[in-house]
Amino acid sequence: MNKELIEALDTLEREKEISKDTLLEAIENSLLTACKNHFGKADNVCVTIDKESGDFHVYAQKQVVEQIQDPVLEISLEEAKKISPAYEVGDTVNIEIQSKEFGRIATQNAKNVILQKIREEERKALFNQYYGKEKDIVTGIVQRVNGKNISINLGKLDAVLTENEQVKGEVFKPTERIKLYILEVRDTTKGPRVLVSRTHPEFVKRLFETEVTEVRDGTVEIKAISREAGSRTKMAVWSNNPDVDPVGACVGVNGVRVNTIVEELQGEKIDIINWSENPAILIENALSPAKVVSVMADPDEKSAKVVVPDYQLSLAIGKEGQNARLAARLTGYKIDIKSETQAKETPDWYDEYDDEYYDDDEYYDDEYEEDVYEEDDAVNMQDPEEQND
């Protein structure tokens, strides 16, 4: 071992993020392994390594005896006296072992120990690097399309964007740079496996954290988010500073901030609404852009009845029920939507919900327990045309 090897270890530490101390320990273990393979045992062997110069010494500790029973562990008094006249029976003598004496098999095994340790530490360093990015956004380069899966290079390893985590309609070409959300990092025998997604609701949240300073520094909080990837996202925001408009901060001047994110999502619509601790107000906001006449919410049952103007019913429900479905996911409430005409024709419609009532500028609220994070996307929607059927 010499200075060149120490420089090589420094390079490994810098490029592979493998600790030099760990590598030196691996070399020490490899020397012990070589001794064991060469002599049959290494219980009495110790190794010293100079971390600066790379010089090392391997010693076999032998006990001074009158008559040798085990030459690996013992040395005669006569031989010990040749080393130093001060040695007596019972003393321990350090006998230096020259590594060049090791056989080819012992040397090869020692080499394998070092290489195995390097691979293990490299895999561990990679895992720790990407594990720290779990639940965050990374940028990758499209390598190739394998059937319905896409291979993405993340820098030091590749990830696979599976069909389930792809947004329908998105098409990527090799060498194209795309953003991805890291779902999970698994440590496997073949190295770290990174699971990525472009459909997860948190992907949109992280994009806003990247683009909007107020979200990144905590001034504006994203309280809830619901998404149908590739089509539409609803997001409820709240400001911890009364002087900061949370919706305005996320939209940006002339919509520049939200448009940047929409462009990254290839045209996906994003509805940004104000969060409210009052479930009735939150539900009204969540049904935007539809106008709401009244909201009757039951916090215990996590359900709500909503009345909208007759001409707003289709807008409130949305195409194929999407607007109402996303609103239900966002608020955690099962939402039943009726037009004013339907509500008037339904007996006891208003009498069933006395706890929470919201009507235009009037709001009456009894005590309730807030729990709007539990998702329930069951929505009872009635359309006039369906009733006529």
CATH code at position 166: 2.40.50.140
Question: Based on the domain organization, do 204 and 236 belong to the same domain?
Answer: yes
For residue 131, being part of any structural domain is answered with no
Per residue, the 3-state secondary structure of the chain, as one string, reads CCHHHHHHHHHHHHHHCCCHHHHHHHHHHHHHHHHHHHHCCCCCEEEEECCCCCCEEEEEEEEEECCCCCCCCEEEHHHHHHHCCCCCCCCEEEEEECHHHCCHHHHHHHHHHHHHHHHHHHHHHHHHHHHCCCCCEEEEEEEEEECCEEEEECCCCEEEECHHHCCCCCCCCCCCEEEEEEEEEEEECCEEEEEEECCCHHHHHHHHHHHCHHHHCCCEEEEEEEEECCCEEEEEEEECCCCCCHHHHHHCHHHHHHHHHHHHCCCCEEEEEECCCCHHHHHHHHCCCCCCCEEEEECCCCEEEEEECHHHHHHHHCHHHHHHHHHHHHHCCEEEEEEHHHHHHCCCCCCCCCCEEEECCEEEECCCCCCCCCCCCCCEECCHHHHHC
For residue 352, being part of any structural domain is answered with yes
pLDDT of residue 220: 96
Question: Based on the domain organization, do 263 and 369 belong to the same domain?
Answer: no
Instruction: Tally Cβ neighbours within 10 Å of residue 147.
Output: 6
Q: How far is C-alpha 343 from the geometric centre of its chain's CA atoms?
A: 46
Cross-strand bridge partners of residue 93: 62
Amino acid at 58: V
pLDDT of residue 34: 74
Question: Based on the domain organization, do 141 and 224 belong to the same domain?
Answer: no
For residue 244, being part of any structural domain is answered with yes
Question: Based on the domain organization, do 191 and 217 belong to the same domain?
Answer: no
Question: Based on the domain organization, do 362 and 291 belong to the same domain?
Answer: yes
Question: Based on the domain organization, do 314 and 374 belong to the same domain?
Answer: yes
Place of tokens 């459909």: 199
CATH number, position 285: 3.30.300.20
CA angle 233, 235, 239 (to 5 degrees): 160
Question: Based on the domain organization, do 214 and 181 belong to the same domain?
Answer: no
For residue 212, being part of any structural domain is answered with yes
Question: Based on the domain organization, do 317 and 306 belong to the same domain?
Answer: yes
For residue 160, being part of any structural domain is answered with yes
Domain containing 286 equals 276-389
pLDDT of residue 54: 67
Largest separation between any pair of C-alpha atoms in the chain: 115
What gap in Å lies between CA 13 and CA 24, rounded to an integer?
11
pLDDT of residue 104: 64
Question: Based on the domain organization, do 114 and 9 belong to the same domain?
Answer: yes
Cross-strand bridge partners of residue 235: 225, 272
For residue 179, being part of any structural domain is answered with yes
Question: Based on the domain organization, do 12 and 118 belong to the same domain?
Answer: yes
pLDDT of residue 100: 61
| C-beta of residue 140 within 8 angstroms of C-beta of residue 177 | yes
Bridge pairing between strands 177-188 and 74-76: unpaired
Question: Based on the domain organization, do 143 and 122 belong to the same domain?
Answer: no
Helix 20-39 to helix 3-16 angle (10° resolution) is 130
pLDDT of residue 61: 82
Instruction: Please state the domain count of the chain.
Output: 4
CATH number, position 61: 3.30.1480.10
Domain boundary among 228, 254, 275: 275
pTM confidence score: 0.68
Give phi and psi for 339, each to the nearest 5.
-80, 170
For residue 32, being part of any structural domain is answered with yes
Tokens of 83: 């080393």
User: Quick one: residue 72, left, alpha or beta (phi over 0 = left, psi -120 to 50 = alpha)?
Assistant: alpha
Q: What is the pLDDT along the chain (389 residues), one digit of tens a residue?
A: 456 667 777 787 777 777 778 877 777 777 777 777 766 666 777 777 777 776 777 777 888 888 888 887 888 888 888 888 888 888 888 877 776 656 566 567 667 777 777 788 888 888 888 898 999 999 999 999 888 899 999 988 899 999 999 999 888 889 999 999 999 999 888 888 999 999 999 999 999 999 999 999 999 999 999 999 999 999 999 999 999 999 999 999 999 999 999 999 999 999 999 999 999 999 999 999 999 999 989 999 999 999 999 999 999 999 999 999 999 999 999 999 999 898 888 776 655 444 444 554 443 333 333 333 333 333 333 343 433 33
Domain boundary among 230, 248, 275: 275
Bridge pairing between strands 92-97 and 56-65: antiparallel
Tokens of 119: 């691979």
What gap in Å lies between CA 19 and CA 76, rounded to an integer?
42
pLDDT of residue 248: 95
For residue 15, being part of any structural domain is answered with yes
Question: Based on the domain organization, do 271 and 285 belong to the same domain?
Answer: no
Place of tokens 């609404």: 273
Tokens of 337: 């939507």
